[in-house]
Copies of this chain bind each other. A is one copy, B any other.
Amino acid sequence: MPLSADQQAEIEAQRAQSQPTRRVVAEGMEDHLYTAHQVLDHGFVRVIDYMGDDAAICQAARVSYGKGTKSVQNDEGLIRYLMRHWHSTPFEMCEIKLHVKLPVFVARQWIRHRTANVNEYSARYSILDREFYIPAPEHVAAQSEINNQGRGEALQGEEAARVLEILKADSARCYDNYEAMIDQDGQQGLARELARMNLPANIYTQWYWKVDLHNLFHFLRLRADPHAQYEIRVYADAMCKIVSDWVPFAYRAFEDYRLGAVSLSAQMVTCLRRMLAGEDVTQETSGLTAREWREFQDVIREG
């Protein structure tokens, strides 16, 4: 369980409160507010605040005086049109603020998305907790043989056990030494800003992360993708669930036109037209490289 009793109590206290507001309220999001959705062994994602809903996207697109909604049906149609034609600014009018706890090596990937606001727990100022990500056995995977940048099947037997043993032992020893170095009992104590350098990248950190819906969709498209590293994909998956409850029309459009969509190159479109006209196109006659041809086949053949 990633939360202490005190932390859980603070969260409950926040969930218990309710006040009237004139602002737009998204029912599906109110249910999520403050709840810590567990991710990995010690991590979580929880919604701290949000701004806007599906109607707010339309309101901004129409620069309306009132709610901007003509009808629910119209709204969904407009949202799908905006998504399909890459109109990004109306989606930027929704905003979400999350509290995320995550391993440092995941945080380092995450932060490459620069169009967001971040406040991270400071290990210069504070002492980090003894919490490390140790993969579940089924996620202790071998290096992929076909993709330099990926993983293959789970390791088996002794090799897997050895890896887990190493990760646990090295984490524990590094943390013991971290504590020993900063200790001020009977010695001066090393500066925290220095001691942290002894901690491995599977230690957990946490941050407040705030992002608009357009940039969140961009993040999710890359990180909820099967090629993303498993340890960040589970965070993306948790966020997909939250977003689908927050802005259901926008999320469905995102699924159809981004997550589940494919992009065909100019050459692939030409191939496709030839095939639909009855021609028997092969890689040799396609004008595509072997790699592109394989990617093309993945699109047009049943998964």
A residues sitting closer than 8 Å to B (CB atoms) are 3, 6-7, 10-11, 13-15, 17-25, 30, 33-34, 48-52, 56, 59-61, 63-67, 77, 81, 84, 86, 89-90, 92-93, 95, 97, 99, 103-105, 108, 111-112, 114-115, 117-122, 124-125, 133, 135, 140-144, 148-152, 155-156, 159, 162-163, 166-167, 170, 173-174, 177, 180-182, 184, 187-194, 196-202, 206-208, 210, 212, 222, 229, 255-257, 259-269, 272-273, 275-276, 289, 291-292, 295, 299-302
Contacts and interface: CB of A to CB of B under 8 A. Distances in A.
Given A142-B188, A143-B182, 20 more contacts: A11-B66, A13-B66, A14-B22, A15-B22, A49-B56, A51-B95, A63-B120, A105-B196, A142-B189, A143-B188, A143-B189, A151-B193, A152-B191, A170-B174, A196-B201, A197-B200, A198-B202, A262-B263, A264-B264, A273-B302
Contacts of A97: 51-52, 93
Nearest to A67: B14
A190 to B, nearest CB: 5
A297 B150 CA distance: 37
- How many copies make up the complex? 4
A298 to B, nearest CB: 10
A225 to B, nearest CB: 10
A141 B273 contact: no
Contacts of A148: 125
A101 B152 CA distance: 30
A150 B22 contact: no
Contacts of A191: 141-144, 150-152
Contact of A51 (B30, B33, B51, B291): B51
B105 A197 contact: yes
A13 B65 CA distance: 10
A229 B163 contact: no
A184 B15 CA distance: 50
Nearest to A23: B49
A143 B190 contact: yes
A117 B93 contact: yes
Nearest to A34: B22
Contact of A264 (B7, B77, B121, B261): B261
Contacts of A21: 18-21, 23, 25, 30
